[in-house]
Amino acid sequence: MIAMRIAGGLLAVATLTAATACATSAQPANARTPTATVASKHPTETLTPLLQQNLPDVKGKTFTSAVVNFPPNARAKPHRHGEAFVYAYVLQGSVRSELAGKPVTAYHQGQNWVEPPGAHHVLTENTSRTKPAKLLVVFVSDTGAKLKVDD
């Protein structure tokens, strides 16, 4: 029972990835009106480790917890967490998340999700342009493995 609670509350990551909403144009596709291109630079998330410990009685596995901060309008690059099991819990604000092959979902303070080993996290972003968001992320990973690898 305790092991199930630990595993369920374990893996979090807000390693969340980027995707921009595309506005549709009222102009026909063949219109040649010049338009200015503005490069939109979004801030990225920061990860602050809290605890890292080898799991007793589970040789080769490590438990890692961290807080992931998303400034306003921030997004993470598309990424993977290797073979880690990830659990994410929204401490503050709201984030939009998408795993490859799954629908985009918005998670608000108090909500959570899990990511299975090998999942491709294609979108993670703060839904607010003015307020920060914060996640508690827990990983159960192979000891020594990288916790996040950007595409």
How distant, in Å, are the alpha carbons of 5, 29, 49, 135 from that of 18?
30, 26, 22, 16
Name which residue leads in pLDDT, 119 or 35: 119
Read off the pLDDT of residues 24-63 as tens digits, 9 standing for 90 and up.
333 334 434 344 444 457 889 999 999 999 999 999 999 9
User: What is the pLDDT confidence band of residue 16, given thresholds at 50, 70 and 90?
Assistant: very low
In this predicted structure, the answer to whether residue 119 has a pLDDT above a threshold of 70 is yes
Stated pTM of the model: 0.72
Contact 70, 127 (CB under 8 A): no
Name which residue leads in pLDDT, 38 or 73: 73
Three-state DSSP at 33 gives coil
Burial of residue 73 (CB within 10 Å: 0-12, 13-18, 19+) is middle
Element (H, E) at 114: strand 112-115
pLDDT, mean over the chain = 79
